[in-house]
Structure 1
Amino acid sequence: MSVITVFNGLFSEAGIVVKRVVDATGSRLVTDQEIVADAAGLSGMAEEKIARAFSARTSVFNAFSHEKERAVAWLRLAMARKLLDTDNLVFSGFASQLPPANIGHILKVCLISDMHNRLAIAEREEGYAEKHAQKIIHHDDKDRAAWVKALKGVDDPWNPALYDMVVPVAKTGVDESAALIVEQAANQAVTITPATRKAVEDFLLSATVGSVLAGEGHNVTASAKGGDVTLTINKHVLMLERLEHELKEIVGRVEGVKSVTTKVGKGFHQTDIYRKMDFDIPSKVLLVDDEREFVQTLSERLLLRDMGSAVVYDGESALNLVEEDEPEVMILDLKMPGIDGIEVLRRVKASRPNIEVIILTGHGSEADRAVCMDLGAFAYLHKPVDIDVLSETLKAANDKIKAGK
């Protein structure tokens, strides 16, 4: 039995259609949650961080942490292992986009309906008002479009070129939609053959290579064919030969790899610079200070030491970013208009105790220091600070975070 992947628009009755396909074929349903759990188990990353890869929103720290790219690498590996181990599966959700197009025994299905019908289903099934339903659908479509763009390089997530079947469920009907999928799943064109098995093995090797590189802090695209691996570098590199040598050395140790070739991709000539993730230094540092020139200069000096940072200029913005994102270390001034540093520290430690907070102030007293340390600050430093002292303090905070994980 072939493998079926189903990608769908929200409120397109995909759940009902998929259930009927599973019942009719005797296949096992594999959800996004299962793939995420497998990826988390393989990588050691938290499931919630893996699942964030499906969101269009990217962390402000991602240029340094590569967290989204690492999550995708592990999701690919989880999917590849599933495909190698078992047939007769139905994958439904974002993960359905993970396999490459050249695995011939995968029937690729898209379930979608026009907006009028999607809004009607949202009202009927969830009781949503039209305006609220439009907002939810728009947000979900945005996530799906960003996901497809990242994996396939295609702007339209419903583009027929991505699928073997695009089924307009509202127009076709739930029963007929399921029947069409079951019929096509039995088609000789999606029968498992030695060649399609080999394509799965190539996918597994490329995914394994991708996860190994991600584990070493690299972000490149890997493909494989018969043990021959090609690595594509899509960001500009100041010392390309050195990077190529390092990549080949890492990948050459992966079981099953016969040869390694490197090349530059379309993004290589853009202005963005390739940055390897260094797990020994913090990559998600939030700088909070109302002295704009000082904090911008500090951010630049940390960048020279390969430490990624985001900058905000007041306590309220810091608290909002903490709620929306996940900084690991915060460098916090005490004296700021509005919400001061001590109150920011108090709230951060109450809601996100794992964030290590380094106080950096030019106006603090011994009494302030005692309060901050009692509230859980990692360190208390005075301006002007020696950049080497601050760097070592950041590394020590990062070591504490790693030990806690």
Structure 2
Amino acid sequence: MAEEVESTQPAANVGAEGVGVLDDSEEAETKEILLMKQRVAEMEAEAEKLRQLQAAAEAGESSVGGVPMETEDDKSAADGRSVYVGNVDYSATPEDIQAHFQACGTINRVTIICDKFTGHPKGYAYVEFAEPEHIDTALTMDNSLFHGRLIKVTAKRTNIPGFNRGRGRGGGYRGGTEEATEVDTVVMRHIELVVAEVEEGAFNQLSDHRRDEMLSNILRWTAGAVRSASTAAKAAPKPYPFSKTAILHPEPRAPPPKPLLQGKGLMPYLYKNLPSQEKRTLLYDLFSRHSPKCIYPGSIVTVNMEHAPFQFTGVVLGIRRRGPDTSFVLRNVVQRIGVEMQIYPNSPHVKAIKVIRSPPKGRMKRAKLFYLRDSPEKMSALAGGAGKK
């Protein structure tokens, strides 16, 4: 025991002499290093919270509605069967768009893109068909009228991650990673730099103001990243609750009627059934070339109508024989002004047509009739003679 006491006394003396004791400056630096490591541990904990928050957000999106997340191959195949529809009316519904494109083929899904913050439509949509062959038919609907607007229809392109994302402040081109992943990467980069500086002793050589500023900036930026990630997770849009087993079949088309299959068109049917019996008799007697009472240019005719002018007498300048759409032009002078009227005999407003005088020698040259337009005195004489008779 005495030997042991003697052997330990020199060590105590060495400690008392101050050989193994740290001075005040070294002790302060050690405390700063411990404090720095504690703050680095806090930042690592914040980064771990970010990763957990991102994982929870992804798990929530994949489990909403019990719909499994689509793989990249499924999304690419769906894009190959989809078209982009632009300039869509804001009040349009998926049912309206489906009805507009239903003739193009079987539609699997109609998606109207809405703003994730306000919920209002953005003015464009996507239509997914059952087969890629329906895309060519859907592209013919480009510039078609939908709810009073000319819509734009193009083939949908497959989204490339980061294709439309520009260069941010102080950053290069970014890929299509999530915001929380980018935040986590930058936070860990800052932590690694600070730890490296602490281990190399370069951090202790900085001024107190510079060290406090570096730590405060990192902690403030980490807190802002956590808030941004949580806000993005809450505002993430819910996936479209679509079931792939639901297929919308187009409505069956009615077969053409038998008269059309036999070659009977619309115009022969109208020629036969549109005019009444009285009108058909009038058209045949006065405008058929085989009728002895046929009206020719140069005849003086009086027309009785149901509206003003109730009666008009004039010279026939020309006749257009078009079946039920037959018409003729009458000209006369009313109060020293030449007046022309085009009369449709098949009109319900025409009550009667009476031939007052046929042209001399059965016909008149058209040049002489149009010459009457430049000779009001001869036209007045003809009208006066017709009035006397």
Q: TM-score range by the shorter chain?
A: under 0.3
| Larger relative contact order (Cα-Cα within 8 Å, sequence gap ≥ 6) | 1
TM-score in terms of structure 2 length = 0.20
Q: Bigger radius of gyration, 1 or 2?
A: 2
TM-score in terms of structure 1 length = 0.19
Q: Quick check: which one's helix share is greater?
A: 1
